[in-house]
Amino acid sequence: MEDYLEKIYELMNDKGYARVSDIASSLAVQPSSVTKMLQKLDENEYVSYEKYRGIVLTQRGQRMGKLMKERHAMLAEFLRMLGVAEETIQRDVEGIEHHVSPRTLESLQALVVFFNTNPTALQSFLQFQATEAPSSEDPIARS
């Protein structure tokens, strides 16, 4: 559900409207899955949806969509900060964003702010990662 809301919010912002076909193709799902989810989002008062009339985000839906987008951006910033490549970032963020608790998110955000506020701390981590971390012999990373 969160994925859909995030995408609808994004389409609304970018194009001014969100069509079932656009949502379906950008989430790589069937249009029938989209209309089913729209009914659920409507029941939960995130969107107002009537077939043939289109999708409108409620205020609650706007707010939630914005939060989803901010969460995505924060997680991406965190991974970018650690030196992860852009395409990996997007894939990982899509995979994890809806499974990270508010509490963990809070800590990750604090870590982002901490490193932004203390660039020398980040610098010393990045140098550590580049030179001392046993990444190439690390069995976990190669799974």
Cα–Cα nearest to 60, from 81, 84, 41: 41
Cα–Cα nearest to 70, from 41, 93, 44, 47: 93
Nearer to a second copy among residue 22 and residue 89 (C-beta): 89
Residue 97 DSSP label = G
For residues 120 and 127, give the distance between their C-alpha atoms in angstroms, rounded to a whole number.
Answer: 10
Q: Least distance from C-beta 53 to a second copy, angstroms? A: 28
Nearer to Mn ion among residue 19 and residue 72 (C-beta): 72
Residue 36 DSSP label = H
Q: Least distance from C-beta 90 to Mn ion, angstroms? A: 8
State the amino acid at position 122 in one-letter form. Answer: L
Is 64 among the residues that bind a second copy (CB under 8 A)?
yes
Is 100 among the residues that bind a second copy (CB under 8 A)?
yes
Q: State which residue has the least CB distance to Mn ion.
A: 72
Query: Which option in a second copy, Mn ion, none does residue 54 bind, with CB closer than 5 to 8 A by kind?
Result: none
